[in-house]
Structure 1
Amino acid sequence: MQGVIKVKILGYGDIEVPSASNLLDILQRTDIKSKFPIIAAHVDNKLVSLRYRLLSDATVKFIDLQHPDGQRVYERSLEFLLTYAAQHVLPDTRILVLHSYRNGIYCEADRDEPLTEQEVKAIEDEMHRLIKMDIPIYVQAIDVETGIKIFESMGSRDDAVRLLRYMPEHQRLYLYRINNFIDYSFIPMAPTTGLLSRFHLTHYPPGMVLVLPEKLDVSKLLPLKKQPKLFMTFAESARWARILGVHDAGSLNRVISSGDVSEFIKISEALHEKRIAQIADEITKEYDRIKVVLISGPSSSGKTTFTKRLAIQLRVNERRPVLISLDDYFLNREDTPIGEDGKPDFDTVYALDIDLFNSHLKALLDGKEVELPKFDFKLGRRFKSGRKLRLHPGEIVMVEGIHALNPLLSQVVPQEVKYRIYVSALTQIAIDAHNRISTSDTRLIRRLVRDYLFRGHTALDTLRMWPNVRKNEEKHIFPYQGQADTMFNSALIYELAVLKLYAEPLLATVTPDVPEYADAVRLITLLSHFLGMMPDEVPPTSILREFIGGSSFKY
């Protein structure tokens, strides 16, 4: 006889249902109202598909498209649908899901010829046809050995086979299926294609961009926001991956398991150094014009180490930079603005002393002396540093911080004397051909480790702050990246293998009784695709050392 279980639905109430009921059936028997379509759920604070079956009493929170986890599910489901539709339109061509690009996901065909505008339109039409059919998307849990056999039988998914060969044998995998089309995903998917109607597919040679609803307001679906410099930076990163011969987690794991990581790390770091030297050369060419170099980027992008390494390259070019960090201009913790969630908002531009910074910058450019402040993150207070500074002839100011490109912070400086650099960790590596790694997840993992080692925060503290960090990035940082004169990708192709050793124990401290457990599980699963790499070969000047310690720079 089938038993009965109790389900507590947050925002609705308690109900009793037969054991093994799936969430889609439970949702359909309730009258839960949501402004946007419900696409997934948290069961006991773990993100799951609506096809998940409840076998015991549970607490359920249904997730719609406005929730960050709902957006992850929506994006991954659309990528799945795109690869399936492309198989119909281009049966001999595999689609590669590569990376985020402004308000969408950039994809290419795995062939020498670029996608044509007609092919992209045909794929989009096929996606809409499949959406109208409202086809079920089923999920199946399997073991690693079974997964390897399934992907080997396909003949065209060597990337997935390579990935699974290095995964723990005991790990459960989830395969998703539309009709006879199967793929692996560590992010749950929507229960049917009918929920996936909000998107554009835009031809963007040599590939296409899957344009997604706006993150802060999913009711808005805007045209693709093109940004050539950002796209060129991603293209440069792809070239670096080709030089290293590593494109996905499986190929990186192969390098690690061979034990031959020393040269691999050296080449990765040399590519960084070469690009930093190129930027220094660009500044040097216009040294008479440029008085202030502004270096911005989102949280945990490695701006501080980049700035120090750029300063060294400028010295090689016989130029004298003076470094100023915006982190030292934070307001005291008790004066920090309160965010919409009622908590201190450390990531808004208004968490900085804007007036003090502008007065110092103007005084320096006017040839006057200023005493720079120093902020203590553990105490949450700003102190006088005793470091007095006056610009001498030929010296240049370098300003580093997440808001450095925000005009509020350099409103006293004429535009023509500024040189603006945008730094971000634009992930170079994917899990496999269809499972990309979010650039924000790479930065979050960096921040988890750094916050624990150097800022006195637990993993739970960092996870709780992150949604507000992301919201402020969308509001206050990303809108200004297009103003940059140049961009630098701070991601290292091997870094997740090193960060894994630090981050996994921290994430394991997050318990199932808190909502942030869903993020912890997702990040642990992401890191499970990588073999760990000891940090011994990471050089002391590496950007990665900013987060794991052992840097030869002082911060």
Structure 2
Amino acid sequence: MEKKVSLADVAIFTDLTPAELAAIEQFIEFTTFEQGVDIIQEGSEGDDLYVILSGQAQVRRGTLDLSTLEAGGCFGELGLLSTQVRAASVTATTRLEVGRLSRQALDTLMDEQTALAKKLYRNVGKVLRDMVTDITDTVALLLGNNARQLRTEVEVRTNGVVNIAKAGTKLRALLPATVDGEAVIAATLDRKAVSLNRSIYASGRLEPLTRTSMEGSVIYRQSVGLMLVEAGHMLSPPAKLGIGPSLGFAYIIEVIDAGGRDLKTLASQLAAMMKQLVAEDRPIRRERRTVEEARSQFLDQGWDMAARVLHSSRNSSVTLVSMGEIYAFEFGPKAPSTALLEHFDLDTRSDTLLLYFRDEELRATDPVQSQVPNHLARQHDSWLNALGITSVGNYNDACVSGEVSQIIRVAEGFHEKRISQIADEIVSRSPLPRIICISGPSSSGKTTFIKRLSVQLRVNGLVPRTLSLDNYYVDREKTVRDEDGEFDFEAYQALDQDLMARDFNALVAGREIRTARYDFASGLSNPEGGPLTSLGPNEILMLEGIHALNPELPVEQGHRVFRIFINPMTSLPLDPVNRVSVSDIRLVRRIVRDRHQRCITAADNILRWPSVSRGERRHIFPFQRLADSVFNSSLIYELSVLKVYAERYLLEVPQDNPAFTTAFRLRRMIAHFVAIYPNHVPPTSLLREFIGGSGFPEH
């Protein structure tokens, strides 16, 4: 039988006399809500108190059920004190009879019966006090003995200055709003990247992050990606979107369902909705869910790929982020709110939707005029779809199901087929090229690619002769310097152009010469210190180096040049918002190779990486559009293998080292992948360049 109560049974009215209750009733509006009706909605403003006389209601924040209210309960108490943004929604789960007392009615009561109004205010205060006490007791019970160790004040060190802060203070309140004109979007607390919405309860070192820093850029881009997917969901009809491969300067956006719009219309409406979200300054929330709750949430959103990632989760709970109705894996901290996410642009190129980040240096490297990278990314995705692998979750499931060997065979077969195609493209050129220029960023796999391409060229009757541009550096003391006054070995001007022109012209003319050699130990160039080299009728010169595609390189039209760009271009998503960065893949490759083979620590490589990336943006990526052919060096399974080595190497980075922030993030990234033992990797694989054991000779 349904429970019914009178006003006298409600906590805030229990000590009122019958006369006082009769007076209060004159100011209360009695009403009924049918099952399923929202009485208050999360995010809306309100100043009404509701008391339940019969029925039940559910309190929910986002998709998380917080509590069930029954007859005699009340909600909205804080609204009587001041107009509040509702922190949760309350929905009638049965037919609900309530009494509603508005703050306006209470103000009138205060004017007419001041003593009674004050008594009511005191009772509301008691109810709120009891709620806080219950919460405190619950927290103390959960903490156990640790509750006695909590401090009321903590020391916070920022830029060498120690300040005292109240325990529980939001990090946002302890940092400046801007640094050098750039908005602070996150922070590092004891070298770990964290959200500005986080509270501090222990002493530590706190530093701001802006979008111009390496880790700040990652956080900013992921936050904007979340906003884009939310904006698509908010359109009517909704557009289903996903973050695709990164092109460095922009993300390719995967349009799963445009909702009947053409691409330009979709871009325009999305941009307008994203600007609206920025103007609304929505908070980006973190919510801890059980694995089962998170899986249910993802399935409700139609995100099967995200639900599958949880199959291999070691934890019983997971953190999700949201700024509205769409929830995604946290995969690292996000900006505290959408007002900080104003630096973006949406554009279309042919049949591609691109999300830019208003970085002028990166925008200048835009290679999409040729559309080659996007074409290869889609080609790569097509065979992954054929394998049924569209996400990290699918991939892990396949590995656990015993399909590792098949995945590796197909991935390596894709590489071999593409290398064979490039060799065929070279041979089919008329007249036959005499010089092949090969370029790519750090750890793209150039060394193994050249060896495998050489095999395919020999199959076609050509004999390649490889020449590294690294041997054509000018003497170190003549090297140009960068803006910091350091030698800029990645600048094109660091190469001896006259010496290159001499040797390239002589070789193409058929003369035998001694090529140049650069001694990195002494920093001196020896113009004739290399081996005797010549090009016969069936021989072809392969030039390798970061500047091999630079149009200023002294190779002439008469040399009949074929240009190749190599780079990993594709990676798997965890969910439609979070995709593994190909730049991170290259960094992990480099960390493993250099620690494994060259005794260079992970910390040293991480600290060097921003400079390496800056050089790539200036001297490599701007010229990839000039390539006659592009090779995508991604291997779907490589992080599973690299993880075997990288996990330990990244753990070697001490927490007081500036590289720890990136090392910690990379550890979290590779944790999502099932490990594969290295003996599965073929000796001719490009991956062997980084883990060792290559079947090709070193020289």
What letter corresponds to residue 162 of structure 1 in structure 2? R
Equivalent in the alignment of 1:391: 535
**Aligned CA distance change for structure 1 residues 337 and 532 (closer, same or farther; 3 Å):** farther
Q: 2:274 aligns with which of 119, 124, 127?
A: 127
Percent identical residues: 35
Equivalent in the alignment of 1:248: 391
Contact 2:684 2:694 survives alignment (8 Å): yes
Shift of 1:120: 2.5
Instruction: Note the 1:278-357 alignment, pairs <5 A.
Output: 278-286=421-429, 288-329=431-472, 339-340=482-483, 345-350=488-493, 352-357=495-500
Q: 1:35 aligns with which of 181, 191, 195?
A: 181
Matched length:
547
Unaligned 5+ runs, structure 2: 1-149
Residues 512-521 or 227-236, more deviating: 227-236
Which protein is bigger by CA-based radius of gyration?
2
Instruction: Note the 1:151-170 alignment, pairs <5 A.
Output: 151-152=298-299, 154-169=300-315
Equivalent in the alignment of 2:667: 524
Equivalent in the alignment of 1:14: 162
RMSD of Structure 2 on Structure 1 (CA): 2.9
Residues 365-374 or 500-509, more deviating: 365-374
What letter corresponds to residue 19 of structure 1 in structure 2? A
Residues 72-81 or 429-438, more deviating: 429-438
Q: 1:5 aligns with which of 145, 151, 154?
A: 154
**TM-score, length-normalised on structure 1?**
0.90
**Aligned CA distance change for structure 1 residues 113 and 141 (closer, same or farther; 3 Å):** closer
Q: Within 2, Cα distance between the matches of 1:23 and 1:159?
A: 33
Deviations 1:270-296 (A, max 9, x none): 111111111111111125341100011
Instruction: Note the 1:432-447 alignment, pairs <5 A.
Output: 432-447=575-590
What letter corresponds to residue 425 of structure 1 in structure 2? P
Given the alignment of the two structures, is residue 466 of structure 1 paired with residue 609 of structure 2, yes or no? yes
Instruction: Note the 1:123-272 alignment, pairs <5 A.
Output: 123-142=270-289, 144=291, 146-152=293-299, 154-169=300-315, 173-204=318-349, 206-214=351-359, 216=361, 226-272=369-415
Deviations 1:420-449 (A, max 9, x none): 111101123222222112121111111111
Residues 235-244 or 480-489, more deviating: 235-244
Shift of 1:144: 4.3
What letter corresponds to residue 387 of structure 1 in structure 2? P
Contact 1:326 1:400 survives alignment (8 Å): yes
Shift of 1:305: 1.1
Shift of 1:343: 5.7
Deviations 1:214-261 (A, max 9, x none): 1648xx899996441222122222223223321211111112112221
Corresponding residue SS for 2:274:
helix
Contact 2:435 2:559 survives alignment (8 Å): no
Which structure is higher in RCO with an 8 Å CA cutoff and minimum separation 6?
Answer: 1
Corresponding residue SS for 2:243:
strand
Q: Within 2, Cα distance between the matches of 1:260 and 1:375?
A: 47
Contact 1:216 1:471 survives alignment (8 Å): no
Shift of 1:268: 1.0
Deviations 1:366-397 (A, max 9, x none): 32223346678899888887632111123110
Shift of 1:500: 0.8
Contact 2:592 2:642 survives alignment (8 Å): yes
Corresponding residue SS for 2:620:
helix
**TM-score, length-normalised on structure 2?**
0.73
Shift of 1:479: 0.9
Q: 1:56 aligns with which of 182, 202, 205?
A: 202
Given the alignment of the two structures, is residue 98 of structure 1 paired with residue 244 of structure 2, yes or no? yes
Corresponding residue SS for 1:268:
helix
Shift of 1:109: 2.4
Corresponding residue SS for 1:407:
coil
Q: Within 1, Cα distance between the matches of 2:533 and 2:261?
A: 55
Shift of 1:151: 2.8
Corresponding residue SS for 2:346:
strand
Corresponding residue SS for 1:433:
coil
Deviations 1:180-223 (A, max 9, x none): 43221313111111111121122345452112111648xx8999
**Aligned CA distance change for structure 1 residues 65 and 310 (closer, same or farther; 3 Å):** same
Equivalent in the alignment of 1:403: 547
Corresponding residue SS for 1:246:
coil
Q: Within 2, Cα distance between the matches of 1:427 and 1:291?
A: 31
Corresponding residue SS for 2:686:
coil
Unaligned 5+ runs, structure 1: none
Corresponding residue SS for 2:689:
helix
Shift of 1:511: 0.9
**Aligned CA distance change for structure 1 residues 46 and 338 (closer, same or farther; 3 Å):** farther
